[in-house]
Chains A and B, each alone.
Chain A
Amino acid sequence: MKQLFDSGIELVVESDFIYFPLLFDPDIKKEIQTVFYSRKDVGNPDASDSKAVIKLKGKYFVKGFRLDSLVNNYEAINPNSYQRLKNECLRHYHLTREIDGVLLDGTLRTILFQVMPHFIKKSKDLNRKTLSDEAILDLIGKKTNIPESYYQEARTFSDIAPLKKILKNIENQTPVLDLPGSGMMSGHKLRDWLRNAVHVKVLSDEYDRITKSLKMREQFSRMKPEHIATLLYIADTGFLEIDGFGFIRKNAYRNEYYVYKRSGDYILKDYYGRSYLFPNCRVTVSTYMPFRPFVMEKYKHPFLLKYKSGQEICIKNFNPPDEPTDKCIINTLEEGLTALQYGYDPRKRNGYHSLDKLWIHIPTIDFEDYII
């Protein structure tokens, strides 16, 4: 189908049907001559047989399929192309899951507006004042380099008139699918028509979502365009890091995130008072079970069992929370950071490994390379 429309060949639309150029071999030629020159068919132009093949501008065209059936079944006919057109349409009206998700998703709102203010430096002075949502978005906008395209998108996003119009059309049950007029037309023109028709179908199918999205946008229409741009940027990238605090979207469908805080370089001492410089790492907690702190990158530490990435930090008497509330996320991250930076007791040599080499024949992680 795609090849046909892309080829630019002349096609014919007649009585809502698409007609394709007739291909020939000697038998078909003979048959066509019989159909077009016998008195029976010439005298009866409405006969179904005569409509199976039509002649226009000296060329023969054979009946294909109904155009509306093509649109209605396009998802099954060409799933990849349908998905592409659907995404294109949803992106055009900012109805993609990510954008809806970021504005409606409670987890992300918790991370952005409750957890993040705890970890980032708001001002140079020492007093910790609570920040409003708007002030946080301002701060993110100031500390993050948001591309100009997101500001343009934000202006389109806040314009809710086109969505309202589509919704009204669907509600009034006006014929949303305009079939092209009869006559000869190029494959390219039909391809453009099909694209628009699929867009209309997608919007009709997504009625519930448009209603929901419209309500949400009405709420957000009072927001500053810069703030919407910041949220769109976060929705698109699924990633943000400010002052060593950040989050990464793990699974867009389930709205799961990895929330992390960088430890920075820190020093631990061994039994003999020698210093070991530990490199920066990201202490992370997932918003999906289990809510235990772990180190994202390949890392070694007395409280980590092996030298690899994604290891849980061994913390004594730590009870993981049941849900990822703001307090739980903050608490888990702080527990993890404290354990890494201050939890090791050189006298007790607690944890899985000792910093100084024990002369007992047990294979363990070696920290000699961290000695300063």
Chain B
Amino acid sequence: MGIDHMDLLKHIKNNRTKQRSKKPLRHDAFNRISSIVKQYGLKQSFLDLFHTVEDQPTIKKVNISRVRMKTPLEIPLFSLVGEEEYHLTMSIIDKVDNPYLIFAHSPEEILSCKLLYRLNPELSPETLMRYHFESLILHEHAKQNRIKQSGNEKNG
């Protein structure tokens, strides 16, 4: 009975210590996307781009060999936006609906988000945080091309 009581005490103490420890504040999708909407002054017409955006980067883009870095973005801890911007933010979140969205830094990356997730849904947060989505898409394409080529060579 006494041992059970001690275990319970330890358990409660451990729980409290865990609760007390500081948890890093992570930016959620709303904070990030609403910041991009505000900073770039995006309008409702931005949603139309999701239909017209190309699934494949163009040849011109493929030729770019350099690695693109992220555009700097200032994100407030708690973002508040006007009604129109709120609806646009929520529509973007609904439309994209994938975990890579919280790593987007620009409208361009929001648009590339779906394609990147389709190409490789297992990219690490560190990679997503560091490299521009366009570079990652090019990298994924290159990887796929290499696999295809090696497959052809084996078959040939």
A interface, CB within 8 angstroms of B: 21-26, 28-29, 59-60
CA distance A28 to B86 in the complex (A): 11
Min Cβ gap B90→A in Å is 8
Cβ of A60 and Cβ of B78 under 8 Å apart?
no
Q: Which residues of A contact B86 (CB under 8 A)?
A: 24-25, 29
Interchain CA distance A329-B86 in the complex, whole Å: 74
Query: CB distance A24 to B78 under 8 Å?
Result: no
B interface residues, how many (CB within 8 angstroms) = 11
Q: Shortest CB–CB separation between residue A252 and chain B, in angstroms?
A: 46
Query: Is B79 positioned at the interface, with any CB of A under 8 Å from its CB?
Result: yes
CA distance A59 to B84 in the complex (A): 10
State in angstroms the CA–CA spacing of A28 and B78 once bound together: 12
**Interchain nearest-CB distance for B14 vs A (Å):** 31
Q: Point out the residues of chain B lying under 8 angstroms from A29, CB to CB.
A: 86
Instruction: Considering the complex, give the chain B residue whose CB is closest to the CB of A28.
Output: B80
Give, as a whole number of angstroms, the nearest-CB distance from B39 to chain A. 16
Q: Is B126 an interface residue (CB 8 A)?
A: no
Report the separation of the CA atoms of residues A26 and B90 in the bound assembly, to the nearest whole angstrom. 9
Taking A25-B30, A26-B30 as contacts, is the C-beta distance between A60 and B79 under 8 angstroms? Answer: no
B30 touches A21 (CB 8 A): no
Chain B residues near A22: list those with CB within 8 A. Answer: 83
For the complex, what is the distance from the CA of A176 to the CA of B90, rounded to whole Å? 48
Known A24-B82, A25-B86; 16 more pairs at CB < 8 Å: A21-B82, A21-B83, A22-B83, A23-B80, A23-B81, A23-B82, A24-B81, A24-B83, A25-B30, A25-B78, A25-B80, A25-B81, A26-B90, A28-B80, A29-B86, A60-B83
- Chain B nearest CB: distance from A55 CB in Å? 11
Check if A25 sits within 8 Å of B79, measured CB to CB: yes
Question: How far does the alpha carbon of A68 sit from the alpha carbon of B30 in the complex, in Å?
Answer: 37
Q: Across the interface, which residues of B come within 8 angstroms of A26, CB to CB?
A: 30, 90
Most chain A CB neighbours (cut-off 10 Å) among B34, B78, B85, B86: B86
Residue of A nearest to B29 (CB): A26
Q: Once bound together, how far apart are the Cα atoms of A242 and B83, in whole Å?
A: 67
Within the complex, the shortest CB–CB distance from A133 to chain B, in Å, comes to 64
Q: Which residues of A contact B79 (CB under 8 A)?
A: 25
Q: Using Cβ atoms and an 8 Å threshold, which residues of chain B touch A21?
A: 82-83
A59 to B83, Cβ gap below 8 A? Answer: yes
Name 21 interchain pairs, CB-CB below 8 A, sorted by A. A21-B82, A22-B83, A23-B80, A23-B81, A23-B82, A24-B80, A24-B81, A24-B82, A24-B83, A24-B85, A24-B86, A25-B30, A25-B34, A25-B79, A25-B80, A25-B86, A26-B30, A26-B90, A28-B80, A29-B86, A60-B83
Interface centre among B80, B83, B85 (most CB of A within 10 A): B83
- Complex Cα spacing A25 to B76, Å: 13
The answer for the CA separation of A196 and B135 in the assembled complex, in Å, is 58
Q: CB-CB contacts of B54-90 with A at 8 A, as 1s and 0s?
A: 0000000000000000000000001111110110001
Q: Which residues of A contact B78 (CB under 8 A)?
A: 25
Q: Which residues of A contact B81 (CB under 8 A)?
A: 23-25
Q: What residues of A have a CB within 8 angstroms of the CB of B83 in the complex?
A: 21-22, 24, 59-60
Q: How far in angstroms is the closest Cβ of chain B from A53? A: 12
Closest Cβ of chain B: how far from A32's Cβ, in Å?
10
In this complex, the member of A23, A24, A60 whose beta carbon has the largest number of chain B beta carbons within 10 angstroms is A24
A26, closest chain B residue (CB): B30
Contact with A along B111-125 (1 / 0, CB 8 A): 000000000000000
* Chain A residue at minimal CB-CB distance from B28: A26
Please give, as numbers and ranges, the residues of chain A lying within 8 Å of B90 by CB-CB distance. Answer: 26
Nearest neighbor of B85 in chain A, beta-carbon distance: A24
In the assembled complex, the CB of A316 is this many whole angstroms from the nearest CB of chain B, namely 75
Distance between B135 CB and nearest chain A CB, rounded to angstroms: 31
When distances are taken between beta carbons in the complex, the residues of chain B under 8 Å from A28 are 80
Residue of A nearest to B79 (CB): A25
In angstroms, Cα B34 to Cα A29, docked, is: 14
A279 to B150, CA, bound (A): 99
Q: How far is the CA of A23 from the CA of B30 in the complex (A)?
A: 13
Q: CA of A280 to CA of B78 in the docked complex: distance in angstroms?
A: 70
In the bound complex, CA of A28 to CA of B79 (Å): 11
How near does chain B come to A200, taking the closest CB pair, in angstroms?
33
Cα–Cα, bound, A45→B115 (Å): 49
